[in-house]
Amino acid sequence: MLKFHCLSFDELTNNQLYELLQLRQEVFIVEQNCPYLDADDNDQESYHILGIDSDRKLQAYTRIMPPGSSYEKYSSIGRVLTTSAIRGKKQGVPLMQFSVDKTIDHWPNHSIKISAQTYIVKFYNSLGFKEMGEEYLEDDLPHIAMIRELAAT
């Protein structure tokens, strides 16, 4: 069972920042064989969701971003990952639900937009995201834009 934390860039310790950057490189650049510049100048204005295990090791992560960062009208969740040690252990849903909740807490008047790898569209559908537009390549991997609309009030 992971414990989730939501921290601004300035609240991260040096060790937490190092660990999350190392994990993002391990998953997105090495495992997915996708060379790209991960340090994209968006971390400073984002909140970082850390999924920590009982041994205080980072096992899951997302980055939530304000409207205007990735998408003009939408807040965003990106850099979604779990380590190979916990994949398949049903930690993706609580990670994403916590991330959605925190995104809504920070930017309650904005729908959430993500760029999802197409092989996990059904996972995001189960969390209320709907496909928008056509499939496209992002860093040579098939993706599709998905939106989670504001809840009706």
CATH number of the domain residue 123 falls in: 3.40.630.30
CA–CA separation, 102 and 108 (whole Å): 9
pLDDT at 106 over 80: yes
Q: Copy the structure tokens of residue 63.
A: 């980055």
Global pTM reads: 0.94
Q: What is the pLDDT of residue 139?
A: 83
- Provide the residue range defining the domain that includes 84: 3-148
Number of domains in the chain: 1
User: Residue 153 — very low, low, confident or very high, per pLDDT cuts 50/70/90?
Assistant: very low
The answer as to whether 153 is a domain residue is no
Are 111 and 72 within 8 A, CB to CB? no
The answer as to whether 135 is a domain residue is yes
Q: Average pLDDT for residues 124-134, to the nearest whole number?
A: 97
Are 88 and 46 within 8 A, CB to CB? no
The answer as to whether 8 is a domain residue is yes
CA–CA separation, 142 and 40 (whole Å): 20
Instruction: Tokens 């937009």: give the residue.
Output: 113
User: Residue 36 — very low, low, confident or very high, per pLDDT cuts 50/70/90?
Assistant: confident
Q: Average pLDDT for residues 77-102, to the nearest whole number?
A: 96
CA–CA separation, 114 and 123 (whole Å): 13
Q: Average pLDDT for residues 48-69, to the nearest whole number?
A: 97
